[in-house]
Amino acid sequence: MYKFKLSLLALAMVASTEVMAASADEIQVYDEAINKKGELNVDIHMNYINSGINIPDYVGEMPAHHSFRITPEFAYGFTNNLEGGLYIPVLRGGDGNWYSELARVRLKYIGDNREQGLYWGINFELGPCAIRTCEQRWNLETRPILGYKTDDWNLTVNPIVGLALSGNSHIPGFSPAFKVSRRATDKTWLNIEHYSDFGNTNQMRSISQETYLTADTEVLGHDINIGVGHGWTGESNNWIVKTIFNIPL
């Protein structure tokens, strides 16, 4: 197991050479949550950009303004520490048409200490996406997971780095995210989530900064994350509504 952990960290260092284009189909900070061995479920990610960017950043990009995304994410626990996932994102553009955004896979590892105190893990995502939402076709994302949990608080940071596997640009980039959670009831946590994009590391700047007020709770026996976000820079989406709904299979 020790060699396996070292291998994961080494792979992260190799793969962490460029951030993917921001993937609006998944607005989520990863914490200590992971499926147990043999568990299968699907998270339904949905978000709507009520007021967003309406000018393409590159030729072929579809502006985010008035777009709606729905993404089933299937997840299976290979062990109590290792989980695989499959995303099948779908986009309804501001033009009213529906588009397939292809698919990507992920692999997540979470260490044993997940109940109290410090926890850590790492997540890799690999797959293609359409030119409508990604400038490069193939991308690999590396997402370290670092957190601290008590009975009433959960603080999590994802210093996200990625790699464009296609195209000519292979410059490292950085898109960190964090989540501060406070327990409100036995089944409900209130959260502040923040997502940043600092662009390529050779010329880092504050491109996108979006903050969300969210809640993690349970509805009819299903876990749900729901909230609203606001962007703070000219290159951020202005108002976004998002939810993640879990269905055990």
**CA–CA distance, 32 with 115 (Å, rounded to integer):** 9
pLDDT tens by residue, 18-46: 333 334 789 999 999 999 999 999 999 99
Q: Report the SS3 class of residue 101.
A: coil
**CA–CA distance, 143 with 147 (Å, rounded to integer):** 13
pLDDT tens by residue, 77-110: 999 999 999 999 999 999 999 999 999 999 999 9
Would you call 16 exposed, middle or buried from its count of C-beta atoms within 10 A (0-12, 13-18, 19+)?
buried
pLDDT at 1: 52
User: What CATH number does the domain containing 54 carry?
Assistant: 2.40.160.40
**CA–CA distance, 13 with 15 (Å, rounded to integer):** 6
Model confidence at 194: pLDDT above 80: yes
pLDDT at 6: 44
Count: domains in the chain: 1
DSSP state of 96: S
Phi, psi of 22 (to 5 degrees): -55, 130
Range of the domain at 88: 2-248
